[in-house]
Structure 1
Amino acid sequence: MRIHKISVTNLFGIFNHSIPLNLDERITIIHGPNGFGKTILLRMLNGLFNSRYLELVTIPFSEFRVEFDEGSQLVVTQSIDKNPKAKKHPATLQLFDSRLSKSDKFQLIDVASDSKRFKQISQIIDTVIPEINRIDSTTWLHLPTHEQLSFEDVITRFGKFLPEQLGRINPEPNWLIDVKKSMPVRLIEAQRLLNLSNVLRGRGYTRISSSIASVAAYSEELAEHIQSKLAEYGELAQSLDRTFPARVVKTTAPSDLTAEKIHAKLREIEEKRYRLIAAGLLNQDEDPDFQVDRSIDDTAKSILSVYVEDVENKLRVFEELAQKIEILKRIINSRFCYKSISINKEKGFIFQAHDSKHLSPENLSSGEQHQLVMLYELLFKAQPNSLILIDEPELSLHVAWQAQFLKDLQEIAQLVNIDVLMATHSPDIISDRWDLTVELKGP
């Protein structure tokens, strides 16, 4: 199941937008003047498919509709009547599917008209987010920047750290859970250089403790991912080694298996090893290569055929990860001036300056960090068959990097099997692919 169209009615009480997604090319670009709702549309999609309903209902709109390629639709409706005396109704999420006898509904909350729920959420905000202090009942001070934030501002920035259940009245129904499982959605935000770490607990809720650089967090995460693959590799190796003698006894080498074919297979395996060593996944093997004698007997052929099959199965554990690392290294090393990246299985990213000095990921420029974070998100955090939302990919990127971004994105989309919807102001990002764009217009 894939999303093929999204639309919104009465956004901010003004805009009506309809965005068909380019499923053939897998990339859709929305552009338009500031204030027309590009980022908001991405937030709405992310809120809907990641149970961040509180973020969704704080945005004023009448109807938000998501249409899928197999004919079903998810529709969120809510009232944006600003008359305080008017009767308010909770926002409603509804699935329309011709295969169902009736459409199902799921009620969300209306924070603006529910003073008790507003007070509850405000108290949780004070508990969970230490970076802000309450000024009055509806305003907070953001301590790092000294900005005054409204309730909507707080939800926009920190809503993903609040408990999911705050935005709904009842538990999610099975039909909604099934839809979201079949259509993963991930947002790469414009503010992507900092990660908020959650390690403290307060009143039963996870509390934000600190901000760390995303590049540092992802470097550590990649190292953990490699260690996990190495553990999987080790478990498989132990299993295969333990059963190797029994399988050799039972195996008869194919009659057409020659010494030349075995040698070719062994060379192919060595090439895979070198590739994995270059990717930082395996250590350099000090064992010398060996040649297969042309006169080997059938017993030796049987042993070598099982050995070759086992090694291929072991190395296959790393195949997907190696592909992603190779793309990451190739793009980064072709973009960064006077710096190169390598991957270390204990440390993650290793950067080296032209004078051979090592740099920590946090010492990269903001443009380099933006490039690295986006590539990592796309390659390592996107699930297959998902929709990835990218807000302002051009931030801090040199014009030459912007011009190359779409080509890199197309390659990654094919490899990871994802659809992409991005919002941009940059004609350099779009380059000559205006056929992929949808312009947001005024009323």
Structure 2
Amino acid sequence: MQEPLISAIRIQGLFGMYTYNLPEEGTLSNAAILYGDNGFGKSTILRLAFHLLSAATNRGHRNALFDTYFHSLEVDLSNGILLGVTRHLAADHEEQGKAKKLSLYIKKNEEFIALWDWVPKSANNEGAYHFYFDDDGKQILKFSKEEPSLPIDTEKYGEEVYIQALEALTPTTFILNADRRLDSDSVSDPSDEMELRRVMRYEEPKRINDLVVRSREIALSQAINSAARWISRKAVHSANRGSENVHQAYSQVLKHLVSSKKAVGEPTDVNELQKQLSNIEIKTAELAKYELATPLNMVEFKKSLSTKSKPKSTLAAGLLKPYIDSLNGRLAALDLIYELVDKFVEMVNDFLSDKKISYKVSQGFSVQNAKGFPLDWGNLSSGEQQLLLLFCYVLTGRDKPCVFIIDEPEISLNVKWQRQLIRSLLEITKGSEVQFIFASHSMELLAQHRQRVVRLVNKNG
């Protein structure tokens, strides 16, 4: 089992009522499922954790923490990093839970490495909140039209220090909300797309639902293109590694020729070469399905090895061996990307009904109906679009530590898909640093993955 990236989440005073340690004992699994009654805050906890782990300064992460009623939140990472935030309630708004500032901090093995007191921009353009030191050297927060006379300047304090530490120490985090919108600092906002802005500005007024649908289609297109580019880069990288293997193979041949008079006449297992030629035929045919290689016909080579003349057979084997070794090296370099693409295509097609996706290096991904006619991505159902969007980002997230937070994954998924979902996600991320955290009411998910369920138990109750 892969190690989790987030090992624990602790929150105090959620909505002024709930305090949770998740889990109560041990650590979260690499595919944890939060379970609790409606209104107990599991979706809110996941959203807060997403905002706490996200560093971007233009996506409202700190505002979301500021506006949600809770007292404190801490997230433990398995690498020893602790991320925390405390909301300081305004004295005149304690009952309503309104805050006056956030204290954000990052610890490594119990030692503070970054701190930042954050306040929202004041609605009053004539002034803003600033930090000062009083006569005793204590930090105070004061509303003023003037810049602070003694600005804070320490190695561990401030926005720049905090954001840099957050970017360096935390995994890339994604969240798939209950409205089926996928958010992450690493994903561009589909509402920023020129096409969507053009539709909203120049064409006839659209219903809100039409714009939501179009935004979802653009988001899916972004995800598919991102996955296709990722596979293409991996294929090029693998091909380059394969070329290095070819170079090494021929370098070894030349070294033997120069250093040993018997090199050319050394015996070669003809039967073994025959088997390798057959394997190369099969392998190149498989790779050709995705244009990762050209299919090779080895019939003539096999004939040259099958000649009854021993000297000719030996000569053919000696000449073919370095070529076969170089091909095997090149194909071995493509094994991983082929397995990933093949698994991805097969997995997605297991979910689709009367449709299937395909992939070619030269064309990227495409989708066809059961009769082979091409379809637009918008022809997929909302559930199919949701799954494909998620799988695309999960695939491209294999290269770095990633956490995928998924709120109510059962939405838009039938019972069969619910049974397949977690198993499929874990299969496609095997061998990578990817963790999934779900919030769910699905009896199918809960029953099939009891060992992964984390129940919300209120410490204040």
Question: Is residue 319 from structure 1 mapped to residue 335 from structure 2 by the alignment?
Answer: yes
Identity rate, percent: 22
Q: How much does 1:255 deviate?
A: 6.1
Question: Is residue 406 from structure 1 mapped to residue 417 from structure 2 by the alignment?
Answer: no
Structure 1 residue identity aligned to 2:162? E
CA distance in structure 1 between the partners assigned to 2:231 and 2:399 by the alignment: 17
The match for 2:22 is 19
Structure 2 residue identity aligned to 1:35? G
CA distance in structure 2 between the partners assigned to 1:254 and 1:65 by the alignment: 70
CA distance in structure 1 between the partners assigned to 2:68 and 2:107 by the alignment: 20
CA distance change for structure 1 residues 268 and 42 in 2, over 3 Å: closer, same or farther?
A: farther
The match for 1:33 is 37
Name the SS of the counterpart of 1:9 in structure 2: strand
Q: 1:420 aligns with which of 419, 427, 436?
A: 436
Q: 2:52 aligns with which of 48, 66, 72?
A: 48
Structure 2 residue identity aligned to 1:179? L
CA distance in structure 1 between the partners assigned to 2:454 and 2:176 by the alignment: 19
Q: How much does 1:6 deviate?
A: 1.0
CA distance in structure 2 between the partners assigned to 1:94 and 1:222 by the alignment: 33
CA distance in structure 2 between the partners assigned to 1:311 and 1:335 by the alignment: 35
TM-score, normalised on structure 2? 0.70
The match for 1:97 is 109
CA distance in structure 1 between the partners assigned to 2:290 and 2:65 by the alignment: 41
Q: Any residues of structure 2 matched to 1:44-193 within 5 Å, and which?
A: 44-52=48-56, 53-54=61-62, 55-69=64-78, 71-81=80-90, 83=92, 88-98=100-110, 102-111=111-120, 114-115=122-123, 169-172=159-162, 175-180=165-170, 183-192=171-180
CA distance change for structure 1 residues 365 and 276 in 2, over 3 Å: closer, same or farther?
A: same
The match for 2:221 is 216
Q: Unaligned stretches of 5+ in structure 2? A: 129-157, 183-188, 195-213, 257-262
CA distance in structure 2 between the partners assigned to 1:371 and 1:119 by the alignment: 47
Greater C-alpha radius of gyration: 2
Question: Is residue 361 from structure 1 mapped to residue 377 from structure 2 by the alignment?
Answer: yes
Structure 1 residue identity aligned to 2:274? H
The match for 2:288 is 277
Q: How many residues align?
A: 381
CA distance in structure 2 between the partners assigned to 1:257 and 1:23 by the alignment: 55
Contact 1:30–1:421 at 8 Å: present in 2 too? yes
Q: How much does 1:241 deviate?
A: 6.5
CA distance in structure 1 between the partners assigned to 2:355 and 2:439 by the alignment: 29
Name the SS of the counterpart of 1:172 in structure 2: helix
The match for 1:347 is 363
Q: How much does 1:425 deviate?
A: 2.1
Q: 2:6 aligns with which of 3, 7, 15?
A: 3
| 1:365-397 per-position Cα deviation (integer Å, ceiling 9, x unaligned) | 111112222222222334454332222211211
Contact 1:370–1:397 at 8 Å: present in 2 too? no
Contact 1:8–1:65 at 8 Å: present in 2 too? yes
CA distance in structure 2 between the partners assigned to 1:298 and 1:230 by the alignment: 36
| 1:209-235 per-position Cα deviation (integer Å, ceiling 9, x unaligned) | x93433322332233234334444565
CA distance in structure 1 between the partners assigned to 2:265 and 2:120 by the alignment: 71
Name the SS of the counterpart of 1:340 in structure 2: strand
Contact 1:192–1:373 at 8 Å: present in 2 too? no
Contact 2:114–2:165 at 8 Å: present in 1 too? no
Q: Unaligned stretches of 5+ in structure 1? A: 121-167, 201-209
